[in-house]
Amino acid sequence: MSAGLLFSFVIGYFVLLLIVAWYTSRNSNNDSFFIGNRNSNWMLVSFGMIGTSLSGVTFVSVPGDVGTNNFAYFQLVLGYFVGYFVVAFVLLPLYYKLNLKSIYTFLEKRFGVAAHKSGAFFFILSRTVGATARLYLVINILQIFILDSMGVPFWVTSIVIILMILLYTFEGGVKTIIYTDTLQTSGMLIGLVACILAVVAALNTDLGGVYESITANGYNQIFNFDGNSSQNFFKQFIGGMFITITMTGLDQEMMQKNISVKTLGNSQKNMVTLSFVLVVVNFLFLFLGGVLYVYAQANGISATGDDLFPTVALGGAFSATIGVVFIIAIISALFPSVDGAITSLTSSYCIDILDLNKKYTDEKAKKKRRLRVHLTFAVIFFLMALLFKYIDDKNIIQFIIKFAGITYGPLLGLFAFGILTKRSINPKMVWPAVITGPVLTVILDMICNPAYYEGKLKVKLPFDALSASIFNGYKIGPELILINGVLTFLCLLVISKKGGEENSLKNIIAKEIA
């Protein structure tokens, strides 16, 4: 298949995005960029958020992970499902009652400036690393299968892709990406179904026949009740639930789109609809993984993990059509997760760190500063993509889950403490408390999972004996985020005191309504 042909489809797809962006960003302003003028259609938001929630990592890493963990990822998905209902009926009502543009301003209303800044910091850190990990994965696929043969270096590819995303988010922000995400989610889902059907046909069987092969190989095994395993059902389910609560409900990118919907009721419809759709879509990705491994086994393909899907789709065994479908689908999966990330990071930094709405009254001055921040995050994304190329992690999804557990835990602890207690905290001790929680979590995880960190750090850690003697071989899985949240909560409890009723959640809501 011609690399030039594939590249021409990439360019054509991008031109289509630019047309949509131009149309939707006309007469846009700062409110359009930050919250879409609170006039977004909930059905478009819900459909577009499928792409944002999944990303190119899901498209490549979830099928690739089947060879190692079978369908165990679905345990996490079941936890996601429950988590969306918590977001819909606990967190969204709070955000709408307080009329928030950035969800982290709740922390300032409840605890003061230090809590606000720390919450925004952990979001910016986590979303920057997570989004650039997703970005790297797709850029690397385009590099290996298209641009290497054209003599284009990785750094040039990274710059071009980031500039593409920058161009269509620069003006419209949330108002634009509501529409572009809808287009891109369509491309991703069509590509997913088309690739499943193409590989099944190549195996000279039907869906029922290929599922029998998946079953015979044990790939469809979902549930694991080994208490020491990181894939244990309860760890995965609880971890999945809290991953959704934090990575969706406490994440400015995801909530920025939800609170752009005019009414709370419609925003809740969006979240509930999304929860059901994602269960089905994630199962299809796992099914695709099973199909791909059956195909690889039948055709002597040795690729595994993140390399499997692109190797099968672009390796020459299929028609050029499937290669084009795969490339369009994976770009469609990439852009919603990265365009929203750059937009939300810009919004959070401007509102939460720079206090843009407090320091500037002139809309032109606000816009000028916002555009500078937007460009700065684009540069950071480029540098982080180069860093991931140097690290060359072969299983990005496991890294993202691990890193999210470490960086979103403080957000879970802060919001839980603010919602569940009436206590006030010492503002001077906020930063030590929210840093201590993650540090203790990492140490605990190193003791329980020394092999993971040894592989990343390339050093031998003296924790094997401790893991066996103290924790009896217990392996921490996705529940890491809950452990981190609890430890942060306890650290906040230590620096808290009774009183401060005027800043209790009840009184904050009462003031806003008044």
pLDDT of residue 360: 67
Averaged pLDDT, 81-109: 90
Pick from 441, 426, 411: which is nearest to 121 by CA? 411
Lowest average pLDDT, out of 104-108, 305-309, 465-469, goes to 465-469
pLDDT of residue 513: 65
pLDDT at 34 over 50: no
Lowest average pLDDT, out of 8-17, 97-106, 209-218, 429-438, goes to 8-17
pLDDT digits 0-9 by tens, 50-83: 766 766 667 788 898 898 899 999 999 999 999 9
pLDDT digits 0-9 by tens, 245-265: 998 899 887 887 787 788 899
pLDDT of residue 21: 67
Burial of 415 (0-12, 13-18, 19+ CB in 10 A): buried
* 448 close to 471: Cβ distance less than 8 angstroms: yes
pLDDT of residue 355: 80
Task: Tell how strand 496-497 and strand 424-425 pair up.
Answer: antiparallel
Token pair in block for residue 170: 């620069």
pLDDT of residue 66: 92
Token pair in block for residue 54: 């999944």
What is the number of other CB atoms lying within 10 angstroms of the CB of residue 163? 12
pLDDT at 117 over 60: yes
Q: pLDDT category, 35, cuts 50, 70, 90? A: very low
pLDDT of residue 1: 53
- pTM comes to 0.80
Which of 92-101, 128-137, 158-167, 361-370: highest mean pLDDT?
92-101
* 132 close to 162: Cβ distance less than 8 angstroms: no
The rounded distance, in Å, linking the Cα atoms of 231 and 300 is 28
The rounded distance, in Å, linking the Cα atoms of 436 and 502 is 28
Lowest average pLDDT, out of 76-90, 370-384, 492-506, goes to 492-506
For the packed helices 233-244 and 480-494, what is the interaxial angle rounded to 10 degrees?
A: 60
pLDDT of residue 24: 63
pLDDT digits 0-9 by tens, 448-459: 877 777 766 677
Lowest average pLDDT, out of 44-58, 100-114, 350-364, goes to 44-58
- Percentage of the chain surpassing pLDDT 70? 82
Token pair in block for residue 410: 């403080």
pLDDT of residue 350: 85
Beta bridge partners of 367: none
Q: pLDDT category, 446, cuts 50, 70, 90? A: confident
pLDDT at 143 over 70: yes
Helix/strand/coil percentages in the chain, nearest 5: 80, 0, 20
pLDDT of residue 33: 47
The rounded distance, in Å, linking the Cα atoms of 67 and 59 is 15
Pick from 55, 439, 103: which is nearest to 256 by CA? 103
pLDDT of residue 26: 56
Lowest average pLDDT, out of 4-8, 120-124, 200-204, goes to 4-8
Enumerate the domain spans of the chain.
3-403
Averaged pLDDT, 108-137: 88
Which of 3.40.190.10, 1.20.1730.10, 3.10.450.40, 3.40.50.300 would CATH assign to domain 3-403? 1.20.1730.10
Token pair in block for residue 326: 């795969």
Residue 151 backbone class (left: φ over 0; alpha: ψ -120 to 50; beta: rest):
left
Q: pLDDT category, 14, cuts 50, 70, 90? A: confident
Helix ranges, 349-408 (H): 356-359, 363-391, 396-407
Please give the angle made by the CA atoms of 259, 263 and 265, to the nearest 5 degrees: 105
pLDDT of residue 263: 87
pLDDT of residue 447: 84
* 222 close to 72: Cβ distance less than 8 angstroms: yes
- Distances from the Cα of 212 to the Cαs of 135, 218, 291, 309, in angstroms? 35, 10, 10, 20
The rounded distance, in Å, linking the Cα atoms of 373 and 364 is 14
pLDDT at 431 over 80: yes
Which of 12-16, 349-353, 503-507: highest mean pLDDT?
349-353
Would you list the DSSP string of 79-128?
HHHHHHHHIIIIIHHHHHHTT-SSTTHHHHHHH-HHHHHHHHHHHHHHHH
The rounded distance, in Å, linking the Cα atoms of 430 and 484 is 16
pLDDT of residue 305: 83
Averaged pLDDT, 363-389: 85
Average pLDDT, rounded, for the chain: 81
Q: Which residue has the tokens 């401790």?
A: 466
pLDDT at 36 over 50: no
DSSP secondary-structure letter at 351? I
